[in-house]
Each structure stands twice: as C-alpha cells, then as structure tokens.
C-alpha cells in the first residue's frame, strides 16, 4: 500500500507535461484543444499501469520520459491517416478483413469525381424538382438480374433485414435449421429475424430439410427465408430443397419467399474454372422467389452495398418503408455501383472488374508472374534464405464458393523460422503493408491476389523488411 502511494507520487502531473516544450509545440496553432486530452489520457493510462506494476519504484524523470514518448506517438498517429494501404498476398481474393473488392481505375476515378462535386443524386433536371435517389442505378441492377425492379441499401445484412421486415411485418418467418447461420463476426440469421419483430419458425433439421418440412410448417401469409450457404458446406447424409421448388410451394400456399443469395454473381464463374456453387443473380431471380438479396462488394466486385431484387410493387413497398432511410447509401456508393454495373452491361467478354480479373488468371499466367517476382526479389534475400515458386490454392473468400479453392502459384521463402516470422511482421507493419501466409513450408506470397501493378511495391516491401531484420 505504501509502495503504491510512493509509485503514484512519481506520476508526472498533467500541467507539467503540458508545459513541456515538445507538448507546447504539438499544441501550438491547433484550433482544437485535443492535445490536452491526449496528455490527460496518457497520464490516466500510466496511473492504471502503476497500480499493478511490480519491481522498484520508478523515478519521475523516467515516467515523464515515458509519458512524452506516448504523447509523441499518439499525436503522430492522430495526424496520420487512420488506414494503411495493404498488398494482399494471402490468396483470399475477396478478403473481408482487407476491404473485399478493389475498384478499377475507372470506377475509382468516378468515386473521386462524384465526391468532389454536386450531382443529380435526388434531383430531376428536366422538371427542375426533387427526383428519385438511385433510380437509374437500380434500373441497371434490375435489368442485369432479370428482375422487375431493384433497391440499393447499405449492405446485404440491411437488405435481408429490410426484405424480411417488409414482407413478414411481424408475422412468422420460416428458416431451415441448416440455414440458421452466422456470417462474419456479428451477423446471425436468428438474431436478424428477431430484430425484424417476427417469430422464427425453424424448419427441418441441421443436415436435412425437405419440401415436406416446409409444407407442414407453412401457414398462409407466412414468409420463408432461404439463405445461401456462403461460408460452409454440409456433407454426408444431407438434403436441401431446390429454390424453384420452394418458390412454387410458397406460391401455392400463399406465402412469400425471400432468398439471400449472399455474393451476387453477375458472371458465369464456371467459365473461369471455378467449381459449381454460386448461381448467377438472373438464375436466382428466374427461380421465382419474391425477393433476392445480395452484397455489392463480394463477387460482384463493387463497393459495400446491398441489392434487393423483385417485383415492382414489392420493391416499392420497401422503398417507402420508414426504416429505408436508415439503410440508404451515399452518392459515392451509388456512383461506384453504377460504374461497375455499367462495366457488366458494356462487357463483351470479361467485364473490367478487378475481382473478376484476379479470378480469371490461369496457372500459366500465375507461374510467369511468380517466377518474375522471385527473380526480382532474390538479389535482396538474406544469405540463409531460399526462395522458389510453388503451386498452392487460393480461395475466393467473401463468403462465396464456401470451401472451394482454385489452383495458384506462390513465392515461397524458406529460412530460419524466427527470421521468417520477423520478416512477415516487418512486412505487415510496413507502409504499404504486405500480408502473406506463414505455414509449415515457410513464408508464402500468393501472386493471384496481388494486383500486377503493385509488384514493384512488393519488391520494395521485401527490401525494407529484410533490411530491418
């Protein structure tokens, strides 16, 4: 106890720290008095740490130097951007933690342009009066998916919530036990349904749900939700219903069907050698559910958004829903989505969408890219290290094609394990950061997910990481 009092007596005072030349220069000329709050936060944190600190009592001079170091570092971080550019060497094409899909230079330029100017976002230029937000973008989405109409919202989570809330309006929602799934950190289908104010009626079993199970549970006016298994597979003794069969049953019984398609493919991925597993949006719509929902930044390759597709009158109901405004997107999102959808409309072959381009690279292309990259890296590698090109598997990610993978090539480094790990840490903490994979074999960089234009940055990142070893 006495020890603790002694310790705390050495804690530097806020007023003394604020008077330090370095802190005064950090605060000088700032319109907002945030430097004082940083100093207060640092002193509070040091006090907390001292409560549990053991060993000899540290003199005030030492604690003051530590506090100044913390203040300096915090102020530096606050004045720098709150994000770091990352080069994705993980082999996961649509990596949710790394920001999912990247935009083409054309789509990125559209984002920059619309961000800096006014536009007819919600204005009818001919009538000179208020217009409909997003309607022309939504018309493009509807046409590509073969639906009567579409509504764009904040993300697919919002699209599912609004669709179920709008159609069920508090009435029962049927969902197969095998589809009461969790997606990402905090999106659980049962909780989302609870938040729409509807009771969840679980249908069938975890591994088997048949049409007869739905038939038994269906009451007129009920809503059925079917969820695409994006991020897992069930194997063995399983049964699932076909979307078209379920849509037919719902129509016969006077019930509504919402289909959460997850990724939202507008391209036949089988053509790129990907296994079956993702239907295209027009196929989902043609199967006949009342509404289909999907994400904008997974396989579609645009930005964060959710798209709801369906009949005109149902979409109109959702558009007028009181919660719609809480889920609406901004002008930048609409313009980017528009640009990407236009690329799909214009494409004669592969649309100009980076996510598709990354997936379309065949093994010959990847082998060449990996060999070239290795050749450019080798002159800088540490003595004890050995690099080679090796086959590997990339995954599509973003909750699509669940567990499926595609053949790829990696630059694989072998060397002392501690050095490999230290190098990966240096790569991750560089700017731009480079995130690869550490496995049994060594430190690997999958070339599929590295944009070809970023290869010089990869070489520079390794040079810096090796220098810091």
Ligand X SMILES: *Cc1c(COP(=O)(O)O)cnc(C)c1O
Chain residues binding ligand X by CB under 6 A are 155-157, 160, 183, 187, 227-228, 230, 260, 262-263, 295, 306, 399
Nearest Cα neighbor of 409 from 371, 355, 464 is 371
Taking the complex as a whole, the smallest distance from the CB of residue 187 to ligand X amounts, in Å, to 6
Angle between helices 34-52 and 60-78 (to 10 degrees): 130
b/e sequence 36-64, b meaning 16+ C-beta within 10 Å: eebbeebbeebeeebeeeeeebeeeeebb
For the chain, percent helix, then strand, then coil, each to nearest 5?
A: 45, 20, 35
- Whether cis (ω within 30° of 0) applies to the bond prior to 251 is no
Angle at 92 between CA 91 and CA 96, to 5 degrees: 150
Placement of tokens 């800088």 in the chain: 380
Nearest Cα neighbor of 230 from 283, 182, 165, 171 is 182
CB-nearer residue toward ligand X: 260 or 338: 260
CB-nearer residue toward ligand X: 209 or 230: 230
CB-nearer residue toward ligand X: 182 or 425: 182
Placement of tokens 């053949």 in the chain: 407
CB-nearer residue toward ligand X: 228 or 424: 228
CB-nearer residue toward ligand X: 160 or 450: 160
Answer yes or no: are the C-beta atoms of 445 and 434 closer than 8 Å.
yes
As beta bridge partners, residue 405 has: 395
> How far is residue 265's CA from residue 282's CA, in Å, rounded to a whole number?
9
Strand order, beta sheet including 386-397? 92-94, 386-397, 405-414, 442-446, 437-439
CB-nearer residue toward ligand X: 156 or 355: 156
> How far is residue 46's CA from residue 261's CA, in Å, rounded to a whole number?
50
Angle at 461 between CA 459 and CA 463, to 5 degrees: 70
CB-nearer residue toward ligand X: 227 or 444: 227
CB-nearer residue toward ligand X: 43 or 265: 265
Taking the complex as a whole, the smallest distance from the CB of residue 218 to ligand X amounts, in Å, to 22
């Amino acid at each position: 106890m006495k020890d603790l009092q002694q310790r705390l007596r050495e804690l530097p005072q806020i007023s003394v720290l604020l008077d330090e030349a370095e802190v005064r220069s950090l605060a000088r000329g700032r319109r907002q008095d945030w430097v004082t709050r940083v100093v207060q936060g640092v002193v509070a944190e040091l006090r907390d740490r001292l409560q549990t600190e053991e060993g000899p009592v540290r003199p005030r001079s030492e604690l003051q130097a530590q506090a100044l170091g913390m203040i300096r570092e915090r102020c530096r971080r606050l004045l720098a951007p709150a994000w770091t550019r990352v080069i994705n060497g993980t082999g996961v094409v649509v990596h949710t933690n790394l920001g999912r899909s990247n935009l083409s230079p054309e789509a990125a330029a559209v984002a920059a342009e619309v961000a800096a100017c006014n536009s007819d976002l919600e204005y009818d230029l001919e009538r000179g009066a208020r217009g409909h937000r997003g309607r022309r973008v939504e018309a493009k989405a509807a046409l590509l998916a073969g639906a009567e109409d579409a509504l764009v919202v904040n993300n697919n989570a919002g699209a599912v919530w609004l669709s179920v809330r709008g159609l069920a309006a508090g009435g029962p929602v049927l969902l197969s036990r095998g589809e009461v799934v969790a997606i990402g950190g905090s999106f659980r289908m049962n909780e989302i349904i609870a938040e729409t104010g509807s009771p969840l009626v679980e249908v069938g079993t975890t591994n088997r749900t048949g049409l007869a199970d739905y038939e038994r549970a269906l009451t007129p006016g009920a809503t059925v939700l079917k969820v695409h298994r994006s991020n897992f597979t069930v194997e063995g003794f399983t049964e699932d219903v076909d979307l078209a069969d379920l849509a037919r049953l719902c129509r016969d019984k006077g019930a509504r069907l919402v289909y959460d398609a997850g990724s939202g493919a507008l391209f036949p991925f089988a053509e790129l050698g990907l296994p079956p597993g993702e239907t295209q949006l027009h196929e989902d719509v043609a199967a006949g559910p009342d509404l289909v929902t999907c994400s904008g930044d997974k396989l579609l390759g645009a930005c964060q958004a959710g798209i709801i597709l369906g009949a005109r009158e149902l979409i109109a109901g959702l558009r007028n829903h009181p919660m719609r405004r809480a889920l609406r997107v901004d002008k930048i999102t609409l313009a980017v989505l528009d640009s990407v959808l236009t690329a799909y409309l214009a494409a004669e072959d592969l649309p100009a969408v980076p996510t598709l381009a990354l997936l379309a690279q065949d093994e010959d292309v990847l082998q060449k890219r990996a060999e070239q990259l290795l050749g450019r890296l080798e002159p800088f590698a540490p003595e004890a290290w050995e690099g080679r090109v090796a086959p590997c598997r990339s995954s599509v990610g973003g909750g699509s094609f669940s567990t499926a993978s595609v053949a790829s090539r990696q630059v694989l480094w072998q060397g002392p394990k501690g050095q490999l790990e230290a190098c990966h840490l240096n790569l991750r903490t560089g700017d731009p950061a480079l995130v690869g994979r550490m496995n049994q074999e060594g430190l690997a960089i999958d070339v599929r997910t590295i944009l070809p234009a970023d290869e010089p940055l990869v070489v520079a990142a390794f040079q810096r990481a090796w220098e810091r070893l």
